[in-house]
Amino acid sequence: MPKEIERKYLVDLDKWQQVEKPAGQHYRQGYLVTDPQKTIRVRLTPTQGFLTIKGISTGASRLEYEYEIPVAEAKELLDNFAVSELSKIRYHVDFKQHTWEVDEFLGDNAGLFIAEIELSSEDEAFEIPEWVTEDVTGEKQYYNANLTIHPYKNWQR
């Protein structure tokens, strides 16, 4: 069974602004199902579409099935079937033998930046860049599906 092992962190915005990074890609993603036990997501990038099914998280791991779908179909699914949606800019940053994915959320989630790293095992060692701060792995409020329902702009800070 395919398994995603991923850790999530908050980002120090002042330090992140100093990082030399490639151009980000705009992602539009919507959820067909946002159940606590599973999510079914459609993602649209500038050049690709994906259908992704994710199971419940246990630690930093969960089952994940991802399939590339035609861009036109991804757009149709988002436009006609998504019950919730978000947009973000994703940056891929290589650091010490790992690629970090940093999401700059847009719209109702503007101001939120989350860095993710995918690992081959839960106990894999890795170095953390200076612009990465608090570990929020497993904190449901930071799940993308949750951000579509309880956006960052409404959080008490």
For the chain, which domains are there?
3-154 (2.40.320.10)
Q: What is the pTM of this model?
A: 0.93
* pLDDT of 4 higher than 90: no
Q: What's the pLDDT score for residue 10?
A: 98
Mean pLDDT of the chain: 94
Q: What's the pLDDT score for residue 157?
A: 67
Backbone angles phi, psi at 72, to 5 degrees: -60, -40
Pairing of strands 98-105, 38-44: unpaired
* Three-state DSSP class for residue 152: helix
Q: What's the pLDDT score for residue 72?
A: 98
Q: Is 91 a catalytic residue?
A: no
SS (H, E, C) 48-60: CEEEEEEECCECC
Residue of 9, 27, 31, 91 with catalytic role: 31
In this prediction, residues 143-147 reach a mean pLDDT of 94
Q: Give the span between the Cα atoms of 86 and 69, in whole angstroms.
A: 19
Concatenated DSSP letters for 115-146? EEEE-SSTT---PPPTTEEEE-TT-GGGSHHH
Q: What's the pLDDT score for residue 1?
A: 62
pLDDT digits (tens, 9 = 90+) for 124-137: 999 999 999 999 99
pLDDT digits (tens, 9 = 90+) for 82-128: 999 999 999 999 999 999 999 999 999 999 999 999 999 999 999 99
Pairing of strands 25-35, 84-95: antiparallel
Please report, in angstroms and rounded to a whole number, the separation of the first and last CA atoms in the chain.
39
pLDDT digits (tens, 9 = 90+) for 34-66: 888 899 999 999 999 999 999 988 888 889 999
Q: What's the pLDDT score for residue 60?
A: 83
Per DSSP, helices labelled H in the chain are 13-17, 71-81, 144-149
